[in-house]
Amino acid sequence: PNEYQLISGERRFQASKIAGLTQIPAYVRTANDQQMLEMALIENIQRENLNALEIAQSYQRLLAECNLKQEELGDRVGKNRTTVNNYLRLLKLPPTIQAAIRDQQLSMGHARALINIEDVDKQLAIFKKAVEEELSVRKVEALVKALNERHIEKETSKPGLDPVRKYEMNKIQQRLASHFGTKVALKADPKNRGEIKIPFNSASDLNRILEILEII
C-alpha cells in the first residue's frame, strides 16, 4: 500500500481527528529531506504566536540548512529582503537582549533601535532602562540617537581631526552598517586613503554579505 508522511499541517490534522472527520483535503507532493525541512520550517514561521526571535532563528535555519539566499527566503515567506535582514540582525544582539525578545519583554521595534548601538555595555544599559521604565519604542529610539550623536561629537572633537570630515565619515559608516546589517569599520586619512572592514560571524553570515555585494 502507498505510504505518506505528513510534512506540514500537524495542528490542522489533529484538530480534524478531534472533530471526528474521516476525510480532509490535502496536497500530495514528492519531496526530499531538504525540501521537507524547508516546508516544515516555513509552516512554523507562519504560525501567529511566534515571537520575533523565533522568526529570526527560523530564517537563519532556512538560510543555513536549506541553502537559500536572502531573496529566495523572502519569496518563500512573503517578505522583502530588508524585512528578512531586520529579523536576522536580532541574532547579533547580546544573549540577555535576545532572551528579553523571546520572553516578550522587548518588542521588535525596541530591538531594532538597540541594534544601532555599537558599544555592548551602552546597549545593555539602555536595554535595562527600557525594560525597567517600560519605555516606548520612540523613547528608546530618541535615547539611541542622542547617544550616537554624543559619540560623533566626541570623536570629532579630538585634536588634529577635521570635524566636518569626521562627521561625514561617521555618517557613511552608519549607512554602510545599516546596508550590510552589521557593524562596519571605516577609516580614512586626510588624503582620502583608508579601508572598510565588514565583519561576519559565520559562513552563512558571510554568504549574506556576499549576496548584498552581488558577488554570489
Phi and psi (nearest 5°) for 158? -65, 140
Gap between the Cα atoms of 96 and 209, Å rounded: 26
48: left (phi over 0), alpha (psi -120 to 50) or beta: alpha
176 contacts 169 by C-beta, under 8 angstroms: no
Collect contacts of 189-194 with beta carbons under 8 A, ≥24 apart: 190/162, 190/165
Q: Determine the Cα–Cα distance for residues 94 and 115; give it in Å rounded to an integer.
A: 10
- CA dihedral in degrees (114, 45, 88, 121; nearest 10)? 30
The residues, any chain, with a CB within 8 Å of residue 129's CB and separated by 6 or more, are 135, 143
C-alpha to C-alpha distance for 177 and 174, rounded to whole angstroms: 5
Cα-Cα-Cα-Cα dihedral sign, residues 206, 207, 213, 216:
positive
Please state the φ and ψ torsions of residue 170, each to the nearest 5 degrees: -65, -40
Q: Which of 10, 65, 133, 168 is catalytic?
A: 10
Is 10 a residue of the active site? yes
Q: Among all residues, which ones are annotated catalytic?
A: 10
